[in-house]
Structure 1
Amino acid sequence: MGATLSLMGQVFPPASKFSVNDIPDLTGRVIIVTGANTGLGKETAKALLVHNAKVYIAARSKDKAEQAIQDLKQETGKQAHFLKLDLADLKSVKAAAEEFHSKETQLHILFNNGGVMVPPVKDVTAQGYDLQFGTNVLGHFYFTKLLLPTLLATAKTSPDGTARVVSTASSAEVFLSTIDFNSLKDGPARRNKYSSTLYAQSKFGNVVLSNELARRYGSEGLVSTAINPGNLQSDLQRHLSFFEWLFIRPILYPTPFGALNQLYAGTTAPGKEVNGKYVVPWARVIETSAPTKDPKIGQELWKWMEEQVENV
């Protein structure tokens, strides 16, 4: 019952008390937003640029990213920077981290925003992982792992004593209470699941990973927060059927609403206090679900992901 009430409160949230106008000046802050060439990520990048941050748009398509950068320049007068990143290819993730390190010595905020939702079940990553878990969770884990030394070093000199990692999850995570590790790579266990179930599993994984990151590095100034951006009109729904889209359309909000939660967690003074918490529509802080906070699940997932990226 409690989970149902929490979910309903996220689907039909009260009016937000936070707006992009409440974001402090971000001069001198270096920020990466994955998947910022469109939708939620692009709206997030726009708000960051308006408040004077140096923003890297990490995306797979150079053409789409450069178009987004051009759009943002026209809208804000500020110049974002492109970082080539394909979260569905671990080698590309490694190359992206190396490229970033060749350009910057600090990283104040990492928005693990990019993702994919309900593609065909047959779709897998370059290394043969379920496309949704491989992109949404494993790709972001590896990217974060490679950037972690820079994040921790930045926290020591940051004005507020923190560096932040904000992971985009979804209300879909409430439908699962564990991870079926047999379904994370291609095979019968994965092929027998619905794409929507695999999506929920990836979002559950996002929250588990965020909580485990908070446990491991919170004492070193890293603030790790998961967020549910809300039900948004965005490019993320491109794989939905017409009838699925028609069903959810009445509960969709404009994309800019979704940026509020991650901007609150990533940029504000109160966001410093949300390590291991969950930010839901709109800019409300709650506890994550009990299964996602289970240290056993967190440790098991972390160990599995470490093994997957060991020899990339």
Structure 2
Amino acid sequence: MRTLSSLLNQALPPKPKFSVDDIPDLTGKVVIVTGGNAGVGKETVKALLAHNAKVYLAARSAEKARAAIEDLRKETGKEAIFLKLDLANLEAVKAAALEFQEKEKELHILFNNGGVMTPPLEQVTADGYDLQMGTNVLGHFYLTKLLLPTLLSTAEASPEKHVRVVTTSSMLHLLGSLNFDTFKDGPARRKLSPMKLYSQSKYGNVAFASELSRRYGDKGLVSISVHPGTLNSDLHRHMSKLRQRVMNALLYPPSHGALTQLWGGTSKEGAELNGKYLIPWARIGSPRPDAQDPVVGEKLWDWLEEQVKNV
């Protein structure tokens, strides 16, 4: 009953009190948005550009990213910078982090926004991980780990004495848990549905963000996880056409979905939200308690570290 109540609270939010007009001037701020070429990511980049941030739009497809950058230039008069990033390939994640660090000495906000939802079960990452766990959790963990030196030095040198990492989860983490035997392809993984694997990855996002907050909160890193809302976006592209049409008629636009992570990532209040889980629209919510359990977070963190130690 508690899970149902929480799902309804997150799926049927009140009208937002925060808008993109409330974002402060971001002149001098350097930001990365993963999955920034479409949906919530693109709306997030748009709002950041409109408030004078220097934004790296991280995406796998150069063609789609450059089309998005041109669209945003026409809308805002500002130009995002393309950062080639394939979260489903650990070597590619490493290359993206190195490319960024060759260009920039500071990073003020990292939006771990990109992800996949319910792809066909046979799809796995380049390294053999479940595509959803590998992309949504492991890929973002490795990117964040590689960028930590830049983030922490920025926090130390900045007037605000903090930086922010905002990780996209979902209310469907409430239906998830962590079964480590299913993180890589194999018989245990293939017994689960794509939706179950999605819920697991979103649970993993909350657990990762919470553990990040515990490990680096005292060093000026504010780590937040976010449910962006039930949204009409291309995340649903793997569903049947009929199901997409039904869902899209009931869902909110991506511009609404960007509000909560923009609140957490840019607002004055956001600086006080380390370790919190945010829900639509720009509210503090309650995740599954076990997803924020330090024992769970440490176990997941240790597994993630093990996967990337030889990349």
**TM-score, normalised on structure 2?**
0.98
Letter in 1 for 2:238: H
Q: Which residue of 1 aligns with 2:50?
A: 50
CA positional deviation for 1:77: 0.2
Q: Which residue of 2 aligns with 1:167?
A: 167
Shift in alpha-carbon separation, 1:249–1:69, aligned structure 2, 3 A: closer
Counterparts of 1:18 and 1:181 in 2: how far apart (Å)?
38
Compute the RMSD of aligned alpha carbons. 0.9
CA positional deviation for 1:157: 2.0
Q: How does 1:1-312 map to 2 (within 5 A)?
A: 1-176=1-176, 178-312=177-311
Counterparts of 1:127 and 1:71 in 2: how far apart (Å)?
33
Letter in 2 for 1:116: V
Counterparts of 1:4 and 1:161 in 2: how far apart (Å)?
39
CA positional deviation for 1:5: 1.2
Contact 2:118 2:195 in 1 (8 A): yes
Contact 2:108 2:154 in 1 (8 A): yes
CA positional deviation for 1:213: 0.2
CA positional deviation for 1:247: 4.4
- Gap regions ≥5 residues in structure 1: none
Contact 1:11 1:251 in 2 (8 A): no
Counterparts of 2:30 and 2:103 in 1: how far apart (Å)?
11
**Per-residue CA distance 1:211-259 (angstroms, 9 max, x = gap):** 0000100011100000000011111110011343244334310110000
Q: Percent identity?
A: 59
Letter in 1 for 2:53: A
Letter in 2 for 1:113: N
Contact 2:232 2:247 in 1 (8 A): no
Contact 2:169 2:227 in 1 (8 A): yes
Counterparts of 2:243 and 2:174 in 1: how far apart (Å)?
19
**TM-score, normalised on structure 1?**
0.98
Aligned length: 311
Counterparts of 1:197 and 1:75 in 2: how far apart (Å)?
38
Counterparts of 1:39 and 1:135 in 2: how far apart (Å)?
17
